[in-house]
Structure 1
Amino acid sequence: MTDFPMIINGLPVSAAAHFDVKNPATGETVGRAPNASRDHLDQAVAAAEAAFASWSQQPDAVRAQACLDIADKLGEQAEDLAQLLTREQGKPLNGLGSRFELGGARAWAAHTASLSLPVKVLQDNEQGRIELHRKPIGVVGSITPWNWPVMIAVWHILPAVRSGNTVVVKPSPFTPLSTIRLVELMNEVLPPGVVNVVCSDDQATNIGAAISAHPGIRKIVFTGSINTGKKVMATAAETVKRLTLELGGNDAAIVLPDVDPKAIAEGLFWGAFINNGQTCAAMKRLYVHESVYDGVCAALVDYAKAVPVGPGSDEASVLGPINNRMQFEKVQRLVDAAKSKGRVLLGGEPGEGLFFPPTLIADLSHDDPLVFEEQFGPALPIIKYSDVEDAIRQANDSPNGLGGSVWSQDIDKARQVASRLECGSVWINKHGAIQPNAPFGGVKSSGCGVEFGEEGLAEYTDIQVIFN
């Protein structure tokens, strides 16, 4: 059994205690992750502080090249990382699984190299010159989730590195191993201390809370649940840390009456079931006009029942298990409650271990728990509506506001509806299609700040205005 180390100041660091990381498809132990102490966190922050002094002064071109070199490392090691990711996370190797995630991580790293925040001249006349400079903040604390662990770590770390910051990353205890390996690869490119990784099972030592409170960390970037995000905000308040929070979503999709149900079934399915529904910006609620309601339900069932579900290591699998027992039980609770209220079109009964089949439940109401709560799993509630104004009202009646989508052959009409949805991103005739050049973030309780593009890069900087 492999004991994985932390990476602090460019070197592997062991811990006195480790915890098992399980394969959700089989229950077997994939490896053992180090359980960091507060001393380990202090060492990682000290290493990042020391590295910041020189890394923040490196020329822009050097930092851009580092991102490209990391992208190359990800390409070279993509298959090994994908295999490890599948074993600890459960997602299939194929389809929109681990190989897809590694390809996305590489593309994001390379695109980050192309971003820059040049000096902006606000005034240059006889009264003087005023320049706006973007300066790196310092040590960034990154706390990543278990659903897309490699991709989201790249989303957090690469903009920080590109803008001259240094990083201490703490991965989820469910999927720490692929992140440790990712940081090892980054340290083959970067100077020691620029990127460090510490791990915790969140029981013996809550390193996540310690990161949020640590006085040496100047910014927190966190992806995860709303409840945990609130705790991060509260803990970070004492030291007035900068925050980028990408929190839960309960994304609504509105299907207008002019659609061809068979033409949109595949897009609807993957909008909801990408990564087995374990995606913040996945479709979680589907509102369908009564005139096409039966047709959309039938087309979704026809598509979904043909999707293979099995262990991620099986090349034939397209969907895998739910990642962990806690999430499995939440999905089962919400589905069981929905079965007594709605009509089960497909699935609804758990499989062995952590496997749960793609589940479609029709005839639900807006206030049913499966509709109003974020399920974060392979279950989609379908709600019939007759008036588009009512569908918009129901879509917006949520504390969440991450993403949404509108489905129609009339693009102008779809855009009108899209503009009225209270969420950070809206897609037309697709759902969840994020890109590295387009800012992404939530409104309401779905977070603060944005990621990606120049706007996301700016989140890792402080503004300094120079008057002369």
Structure 2
Amino acid sequence: MSDTAATAAAALLDRIQAPEGRGREIPDAATREVIGRAPVQSVAELDDAIARARAAQPGWDALGHARRSELLLAAADAIDANAEALAHLLSREQGKPLNGPNARFELGACSAWLRTNAATELPVQVLVDDETLHAELVYKAAGVVGAIGPWNWPLMITIWQIGPALRMGNTVVAKPSEYTPLSVLALLSVMNDVLPADVLIGVSGDRATGARLASHPDIDKVMFTGSTATGRKIIESSAGNLARLTLELGGNDAGIVLPGTDPQAIAEDLFWGAFINTGQTCAAMKRLYVHDSIYDEVVDALAGIAAAVPMGNGLDEENVLGPLQNRAQFDIVSRLVEDARARGARIVTGGEAAPELGELFYRATIVADIDDDAALVQEEQFGPALPVIRYSDVDEAFARANAVDVGLGASVWSSDPETARAAATRMQSGTVWINSHGGLHPMVPFGGVKSSGYGLEFGVEGLKSVSVTQVVSGPGRKG
């Protein structure tokens, strides 16, 4: 990372951080040094932000789709122009390295999703058109959208929320995670260089701020990505205002490797399906079921990659794995691996902290010969530890993979893609990938089933999710 990018990141930070002596100090995830001071805004300040967004919404809506799309493209250009500075700040605050499927990748996704939002059409749908009746279904702005984001992909997921909302004529009040507020506020500041005033407002606060945002009487739609437990609280908070909800909640994604698959051909993709963002990804593979006939080969191949992949400070251009973002998540990963060890599971590689790298680093870990009832299998680890589970009967493997109360993503792996495709629908998940895991496309809808939430994001379905419908019905052709 160049000195120029670091200087530009510092300038962005100065635009959004709290004054000296105020706010909440945010640490560098890798070094634990203080990066800056996040504003801590009160519920009264949130109320004011929502009032300003409410006042701005009719004018923003009146601009029309074409003009709003132009402004979204300008916002994407602004992100691209500041991408290195934003990636620098993101890497320090979240911990993810600059390279690999990490910080620079995330900034590229931000502008790509905005450009797709701008280009996607959502035409009026003609329902009936005959001699007696002409009826159309129209999609209109919901009003003011409350966007509550996570700490793992803080910029990209914020764009997933605010991009379609703005495109459809809504205004947005966005609350970042308490762990990663600075990079999100910097992103919003860059976008607000080109957007009209009060169309997009960032509010940095604690959980009480998030609860108020979900329950506020002037919020028409809430979008949330995070844990299932917090999602349930948001559902409760929204009972009073009847805000529409899109909830992308916890996952415990399973992958199944079918017999006859070449372990070496899939090992690299298997690894990154689980370890992208150091495992801190909702739709990362959290459990891997492998047929007995190739089990040892798959375990050995994954362990070889895990032991060799560079881990360390994200600003080092060589690294592609970073620290856990926060102490709470580090403790969860440590607890689950230690429980697996105590149960007699085999720690093939990793299985311990890496204190020489920093306080929150945990080595990439492959755990073999583990039972389904182990906590590492039943709970979402959200970190760099993958349990690899042996099976001998394919039907049994699908039953075991589906025996959890979440269903965000899943994958099926085979040297015969058609065999995998035929088996894919047996998975109880919102998305099933074939010979890959976790890849997303801005035009392909994404969402979960069971306790992984509800509502779809991306593409046409994503635009619909931030809209309200209106049926316009009148005389037909004879009329």
Pick the TM interval, shorter chain. Answer: over 0.9
Asked whether 1:387 is paired with 2:409, we answer: no
**2:406·2:452 contact (CA, 8 Å) conserved in 1?**
yes
Give the structure 1 partner of residue 458 of structure 2. Answer: 452
Deviation of 1:6 after TM superposition, in Å, equals: 9.3
- Of 164, 183, 202 in structure 2, the residue corresponding to residue 178 of structure 1 is 183
- Which deviates more, 56-65 or 225-234? 56-65
Q: Report if aligned partners of 1:139, 1:216 keep a CA contact under 8 Å in 2.
A: yes
After superposition, what is the alpha-carbon deviation per residue over 1:291-334, rounded to whole angstroms, capped at 9, x for unaligned?
00000011111111110110111111110100000000011000
Matched, 1:153 2:153: no
SS at match of 1:405: strand
Deviation above 2 Å: which 4+ runs of structure 1?
A: 1-7, 12-17
Which secondary structure state, in structure 1, belongs to the residue aligned with residue 37 of structure 2? strand
TM-score w.r.t. the length of structure 2 is 0.94
* Residue in structure 2 matched with residue 54 of structure 1 by the alignment: 59
Aligned position for 2:6: none
Matched, 1:436 2:442: yes
Amino acid corresponding to residue 218 of structure 1 in structure 2:
D
Q: Tell me, in whole angstroms, the C-alpha distance in 2 between the residues paired with 1:66 and 1:397.
A: 46
Matched, 1:377 2:380: no
Is 2:357 aligned against 1:354? no
**Alpha carbons of structure 1 residues 349 and 279: separation in structure 2 relative to 1, 3 Å:** same
Deviation at 1:130, TM superposition (A): 1.0
- Residues 74-113 of structure 1: pairs in structure 2 closer than 5 A: 74-113=79-118
State how many pairs are aligned: 461
Which piece of structure 1 moves more, 162-171 or 256-265? 256-265
Residues 1:323 and 2:325 are matched in the alignment: yes
Match for 2:194 among 186, 189, 198? 189
| Counterpart residue type for residue 354 of structure 2 | G
For 1:228 and 1:52, locate their aligned partners in 2 and report how far apart those are by CA, in whole Å: 28
Cα contact 1:405–1:427 (8 A) shared by 2: yes
- The aligned counterpart of 1:117 is 122
Question: Contact 1:143–1:169 (CA<8 Å) still a contact in 2?
Answer: yes
Answer yes or no: is 1:233 the counterpart of 2:235.
yes
In structure 2, relative to structure 1, the CA distance for the partners of 1:167 and 1:138 (3 Å cut) is same
SS in 2 for 1:350: coil
Which residue of 137, 146, 156 corresponds with 1:132? 137
Q: Judging changes above 3 Å, is the alpha-carbon distance between structure 1 residues 406 and 91 closer, same or farther for their aligned structure 2 residues?
A: same
**Does the residue aligned with 1:151 lie in a helix, a strand or coil?**
helix
Runs of 5+ in structure 2 lacking a partner? 1-9, 475-479
Task: Say whether the 8 Å CA contact 1:436–1:453 is kept in structure 2.
Answer: yes
- Residues 116-125 or 294-303, more deviating: 116-125
- Are 1:24 and 2:26 matched, yes or no? no
Please tell me the residue identity of whatever aligns with 2:67.
Answer: V
Q: Which residue of 1 aligns with 2:204?
A: 199
Query: Aligned to 2:216, which of 211, 214, 217?
Result: 214
**For 1:293 and 1:47, how far apart are their aligned partners in 2?**
58
State the partner residue of 1:301. Answer: 303
Q: Do the aligned residues in 1 keep the contact of 2:64 with 2:169 (CA within 8 Å)?
A: no
Shift of 1:154: 0.6
The Cα of 1:124 is off from its aligned counterpart by 2.3
From 345, 348, 351, the counterpart of 1:345: 348
Q: CA deviation at 1:117?
A: 1.5
How far is the alpha carbon of 1:128 from its aligned partner? 2.7
Equivalent residue of 2:62, what SS? Answer: coil
Cα distance change of structure 1 residues 13 and 87 upon mapping to structure 2, 3 Å threshold? closer
CA shift for structure 1 position 14 = 7.1
Distance 2:58 2:98 in 1: 40
Q: CA offsets per residue over residues 98-119 of structure 1, 9 Å max, x none?
A: 1111011111111111112111
CA spacing shift, 1:15–1:197, aligned 2, 3 Å:
farther
Asked if the contact 1:252/1:404 (under 8 Å) is kept, the reply is yes
Change (3 A) 1:464 1:312: same
**In structure 2, how many angstroms separate the alpha carbons of the residues matched to 1:59 and 1:167?**
17
1:355, CA displacement in angstroms?
Answer: 0.3
Corresponding position of 2:3: none
Q: In the aligned structure 1, how far is the partner of 2:19 from the partner of 2:149?
A: 21
Q: Structure 1 residue aligned with 2:256, among 254, 257, 265? A: 254
Counterpart check, 1:267 vs 2:269: yes
User: How far is 1:260 from its partner?
Assistant: 1.1
Residue 44 (1) aligns with residue 46 (2): no
Per-residue deviation, 1:241:
0.6
Contact 1:252–1:286 at 8 Å: present in 2 too?
A: yes
The percentage of aligned residue pairs carrying the same residue is 53
What amino acid sits opposite 2:35 in the alignment? Answer: V
Q: What residue is the counterpart of 1:367 in the other structure? A: 373
Rounded Cα–Cα distance in structure 2 between residues aligned with 1:330 and 1:67:
39
Instruction: State the AA in 1 paired with 2:167.
Output: R
For residues 334 and 73 of structure 1, what CA distance do their matches in structure 2 show? 42
- Alignment gaps of 5+ in structure 1: none
SS in 2 for 1:245: strand
Distance 1:278 1:3 in 2: 26
Instruction: Give me the CA root mean square deviation.
Output: 1.6
Distance 1:463 1:344 in 2: 53
